[in-house]
Each structure stands twice: as structure tokens, then as C-alpha cells.
Amino acid sequence: MISTVLDRDQQAALQRSRLEALAAQARSLEAATLGEVIAYTSAGLHKTCDGFSGIRDWIMESFAFNASSAGQMASIARLAPKYKHLAEAALSGSASLDAIAYTMRRLEREGLAVYSRVPYPSPVESPYDGSTSCRTPEELIREYCVHAARSELAELFDKVCAELFDQQSLLDELSQQTLAWMEVSERADGMWDLDGRLTGDTGRLLSNALRTAVPPPRQDEADEVGVLPSASRRNAEALHQMVAAYGADPGAPKRHGHTATLNLLCDIETLREEKTGRLPVLDGKPVSVAKARLLACEAGIIPSVFDYETGEALELGREKRLPNTALRHKLELEQQGGCAWSGCRAPISWTEAHHVVHWAEGGATSADNMILLCRFHHGRIHTDKWEIAKIGPGKASITHVNGTTDEDWEASPLKDLPNGHDSSEWSPMHRRELTDHANWYAQSNMRDAIAKARERFKQSPEDPGDAPPF
């Protein structure tokens, strides 16, 4: 009996060894094939010599690869110039084509192509090899592709997106707020035009509100040929219902309304920015700690905060983190000019109450520890570039890490954009468009300065009379 067991173990070990050797050969062959595909297609030979516009179809038709393998090689070949470290892992055979193709596609779909190449302030150690340093997020993602199981990649990728782009998520939000705009104008026929561009958060809130403001179409609403009402017209009706309900409902917020209706789940240690290795979860998806700290200040967010060690829910709900009606009224009376940021013209009704010392760190929800800021400047304070202190009722001292006050910042003739949004705070994804705005702003200022100078020279000098010219 013992001999039989040993024979089976020996047989399993022998066959496993053979399988591992064959798998290594298969990966090596895949990598070599990918290298030839990249060389051939980068020269455009699949188009000029073989008459194929798509790489995937060319691989399938010319070499009888199945759709999955051909699609993976086509994706890697197309994106290899953009993701050199990931492509190198595939070409060396250290990572499977499946893992590399999945990761490249996710980076493209999530809009993280720029972020993946932004260097870290200091290299990050590989989770699998302490001797390997990762200079960029792409290099860290490569480590996951090489060492992690394929089934773990999706979760690890979500973690990278939320954890490693912590500050980028705030820069994204600031950049989107700078680019956001909306115009409502009456037409000659009595109707109104609505045009604009919204931030990601605002757009999602509006989309959710439009979907729930009116019930979905029923079959009896179809026209004579069976076509249901168009989505665009239903959106217009949904907007009407939302605005009408807002104005007619006595319980609707009139001034300081909800800024979000989302559920945030986080343990208190992570919310305090302690290095726990865990991430907050917003409506089921991981988010950065910086984003969570900002959202946890807002009225419409419902935070569920707990002690990770005991699993006990902590009483840090609405009454602990948000000003009640009396406190909000007191803050508004002390700060009637609106947002505390120097030069900001946002009215008081647009402001959010910011804890100078975050409530998760024991900061009191009191007038001494709260200041009103508009949504843009509230998010700006939550980056690591600004510090704020309350110096009196309705007054705050806001200072950049370089020592410049918000007043000096806004008064500077050299600021990049009208709202003071500095180029160091721009999101890499939106940098090109923000640069165009900054160029337009600089040219506009230059034209205004030239026009003012010309006006001064056009003015006739006063008659000197008989006075001597000295």
C-alpha cells in the first residue's frame, strides 16, 4: 500500500516537472511569436503586403490562431509603444499574454495611460521582490502581471487605481471643476437651450437623478409602429420633474443641499491616513483615501465607519460630522461674503462646511473648527499643497506649502487660470486642455494690457500754459 502511494507521488512529481517544462516552452514560444507580430505590424507590413487593416484579423486568417490568442497579441502589439514595461514583460515570457493584454486594455479603458507613466516621488518596492524598485505605476502593475495569479489581477488593478493615484484623483476633480461649465439661454421661439460640460461626479448624479425622476416607459406608451419615447425627450421631462419637485416640496433643501447620495465604507484608521494597506469603498468600489476624506465631509454621503480590529461600528454619523441648522446658520452669519478663499465669488449657498481638524481625527463639529468653502476650494484644501487655520469668526488663514497666502496667490498677475488653479495642481489627463485654457487666458490678459496702454497714450496731455517745462 505504501509502495503504491509512493509510486503515485513519484509519477505526479515526474509529470508535473514535464508539464512545467512544456509550459515554459509554450510561454517562450508565445513571447517569440509576439515579438515577430510586433516587428511585422509596426512596419505596417500586414497592411501593405497582406491587405489587412486589423491586426487581430490578420493573425487569425494568416496563422490560424483562435480569436482569444489573436486578440491578446493584437492588443499588445497595438499598445506596446505606449506601455513599454508591460510589453517587455510579455516579450520576455515572464508574464502571460493574457495578463498583459488584460492590463493594457484596463489601463486604456480606465483612462490611466498618462497616470501609469507619471513617476512616483520615490520608487516603490515590489510586493514580491524587495530588490526590485518600481519607478512608475506601470512598473508596479508589471510586477502584478508577472507574479500574481490571473484571478487576482482585477482586484489588484482596482487597488492600484485607488491607492497609487490618491492625489491624482483630487487633481482630476480640481481639473474637471476648472473645465466644467453650463449655460441656460432662452431662444427666440420661447424654448430654452441647455449646454455645458459637467464634472464626473456631477454628471453621474445628474444621470442617476434623470433615470429615477420619471418611471421607465411602458409598452402602452409606444407609438403606432411600436417605438417607445426617445431617451432624450424623457431626459427633458425628467429634468422638468426634478426642478418642479425641488421648488414645490417644502422639505426640499433651499440653500445648502446635498452634494452626493452615496455610501462610504471605511475603517477609522484608514480614514485617519494611517498606513493600514486597506482602502475605503464607495458604493462597492475602492476609492482613494484622499477622495474618501473629502466625501466624508459632505452632507449627502452616508459614511459607515468601523474599528477594523473589533468590527464595531463607530458612532460618527451625521450628527457628529455635519453642522446642525443652528451651527450652519451661525457659520453663515459669520461668513456672509461666501467662500473663505480670498477673491472667491462663490455665494454662501454654494459652500460646504470644512473641518479644520478632520472629524475622523477627533476634530469638533463646532464653529471654532469649521469654515465654509466652495466645492472647488474645499477639494483644493484636501490636497497636500495647502494648509488652513481658523483665525476668527468667519476668517481663515490659507497658506500654500511654499509660504504664499491665498490672497497673494489670487492677486498674482502670473497665475495660470482665472480661478487660480495652478499648473502644479493639474491632472495629467487634462493637462493638454488646461494648457489651452491657460494660453487663452495669457493671451487675453496680454490683449487687455495692450489696449489699456494704447488708451493711456491716446489721452491728450494737459495744456502746460505758461509754466516752465521744469
User: According to the model, what pLDDT value does residue 255 have?
Assistant: 45
Is residue 25 within 8 Å of residue 93, measured between CB atoms? Answer: no
Residue-wise pLDDT for 403-431, tens only, equals: 999 999 988 888 898 888 988 888 887 88
Phi-psi region of 254 (alpha: psi -120 to 50; beta: other; left: phi over 0): alpha
| Sign of the alpha-carbon dihedral angle for 228, 233, 237, 243 | positive
Identity at 356, one-letter amino acid code:
V
Residues pairing with 182 in the sheet: 196
Residues in the chain, pLDDT under 70: 1-6, 163-168, 214-229, 244-263, 283-284, 296-321, 459-470
User: According to the model, what pLDDT value does residue 6 have?
Assistant: 60
Identity at 433, one-letter amino acid code:
E
**What number of H helices and E strands is found in the chain?**
18, 12
Q: Which one-letter DSSP state was computed for residue 313?
A: B
Closest of 291, 279, 287 to residue 170, by C-alpha: 291
Residue 108 contacts by C-beta under 8 Å, 6 or more apart in sequence?
A: 79
Domain ranges of the chain: 14-164, 428-458
Determine phi and psi for 102, rounding to 5 degrees.
-60, -45
- Predicted TM-score of the model (pTM): 0.58
User: According to the model, what pLDDT value does residue 308 have?
Assistant: 58
User: According to the model, what pLDDT value does residue 259 have?
Assistant: 38
User: According to the model, what pLDDT value does residue 372 have?
Assistant: 94
